[in-house]
Chain A
Amino acid sequence: MNKIMYLEFERCIGCRACQAACRECGDHDAKERNYVEYVDFTESRQTFPMLCMQCKDPACARVCPANAIQITDEGVVLSAMEEKCIGCRNCTFGCPFGIPKFDFEKNKMYKCDMCYDRTRHDIAPMCASVCPSDAIRFIDFDEMQQLRRKRTQMNLVEGKKPQEGNKWDYVPEFFGVYTDQS
């Protein structure tokens, strides 16, 4: 599985189909593990989806005193194992993205597992499958790189050029092409 969950926030239309679909995944116990938030509803209807980043070195697993959070060979960070989780909630505080949720009835954490029972068979997770606006996509690594290059290209097509003050708007995320020193 060399696939990427690719989020494009500005495509999000706030329909929350991803959350409804998350509940439908077999191992999800009818509880959603993803988030859709308004940036600021008073200002605009812009929303954005938020999922687990499936970190390479996940803080949630690091801070777990019971080693309950397992990482699969493919790098998917799973929900806490029921028999190991002690309900201390360290993971919910440790995650910098605020992803793990806590089930107070069962006294255990639960989080996005990228629909592991689907993705390990190369079938897209429920959220990415249904997302009507392609704000959430499940795509090949190469396709992701291509999409990023395309974003800069589109800015050129539109005749916009980065200028001092807004150049960060034109930088594909995570690539340090422009720096403050330049």
Chain B
Amino acid sequence: MSQFLVKEGVKNQIRKGEKLVTTHCCYCGMQCGMHIRVDEKNNKVVGVEPRYDWVLTRGKMCPKGVTAYQTIDHPDRIKTPLIKKNGKFVEATWDEALDLIESKYKGIQETYGKDAVGVYGGVSMTNEKCYLVGKYARVGLGTRYIDYNGRYCMSSAAGGFNKTLGMDRGSTLPWTELEHTDTFFMAGSNTAECHPTSIQWFWKAKDKGAKLIVADPRETATARVADVHLDLLPGTDAALANGIMHLLIKYDYVDHAYVQERCNNFEELKEMTAKFTPEYTSKLTGVAAEKIIKAAHIFGKSPRSVVMFARGAEQQTSGVDNVSLYTSMALLRGQIGKFASGVATFTGQGNGQGGREHGQKADALPGYRKIANPKDVEYISGIWGIKPEEMPKEGVSAYEMFHLMQNKTIRALHVICSNPVVSSPNINYVQDSLEKLDFLVVNDFFMSETAELADVVLPATTWAEDEGTTTNIEGRVIRIRKVVEPLGESKPDWEIMKLIADRLGKGKFFEYNEPREIFDELRLASKGGKADYYGVTYEKIDEQDGVFWPAPAEDHKGTPSVFQERFATEDGKANLAVCDFRGPSEVQSKEYPLWLTTGRVVFHYLSGNQTRRVDFLMEQCPEPFVEMHPELASQYQVENGERVKLSTPRGDMIAPVKITKAIRKDTMFVPYHWGKKLAVNQLTSPALDPFSRMPEFKVCAVKLEKLTK
């Protein structure tokens, strides 16, 4: 099979002595297509070439994507296993590291039970690896305590979609249709910075006259050109969505035939939204009533609209409510399941979609099966070759695992593809929890802040050193190709899990020689589930530019648009959300009088463990900053560039001020990509959504102090 795929008539620059390997970016959910340039003589990665014919991104890349290849052969790469001796890491052989892990895991599990060893996964890796993390925890280690960083990312979207639509596919439509949409309602998404290559589709639609409504406390690049910018207070999305639905009903923009035929709860929703008049909504959200009315009219009149949201709306204690309510807006307009219309969430992590489908979550098994459902347990046990009674019970969510480390229920932890001491909320507590562990193993290819705390660090490979598939922002399964051989002694995560399982006497459950064998098992494991990958094959992905799940049969071409006939709920009808406004968990007080919200910048990705090592990106954005309105700056007598102190009851940080009118006067913004003293997550609130257990990163009451000179 060719490693360089290109459609007829498309020209790429191929330099002498070089070859191109066709793959996708390692960062966000857009999974932009790219070709990696490899020097044929020494087999080293030397650069990147645009993949003009990739259907979703058309050669376009953001600065992270352009420089992604620089992490592969980076001098900071961890090349051998490391064992901590007297507080210092010492290079070790794989055998030494595995011996230690084997004796520690066995010792702890014999003394304290199987559940004393936990697994903390991630979704910036292939479906094959994500699937195997779930199996490794339950079959290899036999522990119930497994969860993953997707809990901080997609769990509220998943919860909301499951509640309303009965199935959680991030987008109900393929994004190549977006250029035909008439109105976008975007809530809590700074898509120009977090998913830059999606902008081409929004701008294309705008060229044709599409309207844009953006709900965000900051005037982001999309909010700046929006027809209406709903500059809401952080944490008030539920009120806004109820307010818009109130107006949709009042002005009769409801698609009654669709609602009658395909939705439940309309009368209850009508009753609930009755009190959300523009004036009341305005009081709760801080958005002018005229803007809410204008937005409702634009949204209500559009024949084809897409409601989109991201972490801004989801990382709240009412994240699931927010998602359900925004989804209900699309349902009231009869949009879901039709051309160029529907509902979508912006997947933050590379494989945020696929990684949450196949059993890395505390309560889930492959194919969106549930561990609480005996039938699902029986099916998966059959695939894995264990007895159903051997299947561990449901565990707890990512942040709650740290409580269990504090009380010594979890005594050893294996972190795979994640950096929780930067990405979790309230990280001083998280760091303390990890330090209380008897034994910590971390797989990573750079020395992350979490890896620094480990007893054993195992060198993992980058995305370009292994084969596999990911599922992008649309629900399209795509192929990641191996570009070069693993650097040094590093090994792909699936091989590491296999080696450890083998040491624990579970080798027969992990007899894989290559990722394709894991994928074939995943296809079977997901067969019949909601996220059905049975019909997805590597060959089909190449043939038809990716395969949208569900693809339930071998000859099935995949399902680009879902819910065209019926929803995935038991009665086939969508459940309109009936949720009151609850408000964020923290309220402003005399001591903490301002709002703090967090997010990303275009130059960095997640905990920054990769992007903070790339020169170009660090030149553009070397440190976090506090974005604030000039009026707020004037009240506190601070100047642009001056260092200020922010504090909450959980922690404090010092960072320079960046003054702009493109943010609310009562809200400050700090990006979260840095660790230790530069981490805004020292301040963020660990309050959890009661349903999805998503922490409330996006809202906390904060104190601002000018530093004395």
Contact = CB atoms under 8 A, between A and B. Distances in A.
B363 interface: no
B221 interface: yes
A19 B221 contact: no
Given A10-B225, A15-B192, A123-B12, A129 B602 contact: no
Contacts of A130: 50, 59-62, 65-66
A39 to B, nearest CB: 11
A94 B62 CA distance: 32
B63 A17 contact: yes
Nearest to B57: A132
A29 to B, nearest CB: 13
A130 B50 CA distance: 7
Contact of B66 (A10, A20, A124, A134): A20
Interface stretch (B307-315, B459-467, B528-536, B655-663): B655-663
A45 B66 contact: no
A16 B603 CA distance: 9
Contacts of A158: 209
Nearest to B620: A16
B13 A121 contact: yes
Contacts of A41: 658, 660
Given A42-B659, A134-B203, A21 B630 contact: no
Interface in A1-28: 10-11, 13-17, 19-21, 23-24, 26
Given A42-B630, A43-B661, A121 B11 contact: yes
Interface in A86-124: 117-118, 121-124
Interface residues of A, number: 36
Interface stretch (B150-158, B193-201, B281-289): B193-201
A117 B204 CA distance: 30
Contacts of B616: 19-20, 23
Contacts of A124: 50, 52, 59
A19 to B, nearest CB: 7
A157 B209 contact: yes
A154 interface: yes
B334 to A, nearest CB: 25
A126 B60 CA distance: 10
Interface in A24-39: 24, 26
Nearest to B59: A129
A46 interface: yes
Contacts of B209: 154, 157-158
Interface in B493-526: none
A42 B657 CA distance: 12
A64 B467 CA distance: 53
Contacts of B640: 42
A59 interface: no
Interface in B58-102: 59-63, 65-67
B200 A21 contact: no
Contacts of B602: 13-16
A65 to B, nearest CB: 33
A117 B14 CA distance: 11
Nearest to B204: A134
Interface in B7-24: 11-13, 15
A44 interface: yes
Interface in A116-169: 117-118, 121-124, 126, 129-134, 150, 154, 157-158
A154 B204 CA distance: 12
Interface in A42-85: 42-46
Given A23-B616, A42-B659, A154-B209, A13 B48 contact: no
A131 B60 contact: yes
Contacts of A14: 192, 221, 602
B26 to A, nearest CB: 15
A134 B200 contact: yes
Interface in B143-201: 192-193, 196-200
Contacts of B52: 124, 129
A16 B11 CA distance: 24
Nearest to A23: B616
Majority secondary structure, B binding face: mixed
B224 A24 contact: no
Counting chain B residues whose Cβ lies within 8 A of the other chain, the interface size class is: 35 or more
B220 interface: yes
Task: Tell me which of A10, A16, A23 has the highest count of chain B C-beta atoms within 10 A of its own C-beta.
Answer: A16
A17 B200 CA distance: 14
A26 B196 CA distance: 25
A19 B620 CA distance: 10
Nearest to B640: A42
B219 interface: yes
A79 to B, nearest CB: 18
A24 B661 contact: no
Given A42-B661, A43-B661, A20 B63 contact: yes
Given A20-B63, A43-B661, A45-B221, A132 B200 contact: yes
Given A121-B11, A121-B13, A13 B63 contact: no
A77 B616 CA distance: 26
A117 B16 CA distance: 13
B66 A21 contact: yes
B261 interface: no
B47 interface: yes
B662 A45 contact: yes
A20 B616 CA distance: 7
A126 to B, nearest CB: 8
B203 A118 contact: no
Contacts of A123: 11-13
Contacts of B203: 11, 133-134
Contacts of A20: 63, 66-67, 616-617
B61 A17 contact: yes
B63 A133 contact: no
Contacts of A44: 219, 224, 660-662
A162 to B, nearest CB: 18
B50 A129 contact: yes
B565 interface: no
A45 B60 contact: no
Interface in B557-594: none
Contact of B199 (A13, A23, A24): A13
A171 to B, nearest CB: 18
A118 B13 contact: yes
- Interface core residue of B63, B65, B620 (most chain A CB under 10 Å): B63
Interface in B189-242: 192-193, 196-200, 203-204, 207, 209, 219-221, 224-225
Given A13-B196, A23-B616, A158-B209, A46 B224 contact: yes
Interface string B660-681: 1110000000000000000000
Given A16-B620, A129-B50, 9 more contacts: A13-B199, A13-B221, A15-B63, A17-B62, A44-B661, A124-B59, A129-B59, A132-B200, A133-B199
21 contacts: A11-B203, A15-B196, A17-B61, A17-B63, A20-B617, A24-B48, A41-B660, A44-B224, A44-B660, A45-B219, A121-B11, A124-B50, A129-B52, A132-B196, A132-B197, A133-B200, A134-B203, A134-B204, A150-B207, A154-B207, A154-B209
Interface of A: 10-11, 13-17, 19-21, 23-24, 26, 41-46, 117-118, 121-124, 126, 129-134, 150, 154, 157-158
Q: Lowest 9 CB-CB distances: which A-B pairs, in order?
A: A20-B63, A13-B192, A20-B66, A129-B50, A132-B196, A13-B221, A132-B197, A130-B61, A132-B60
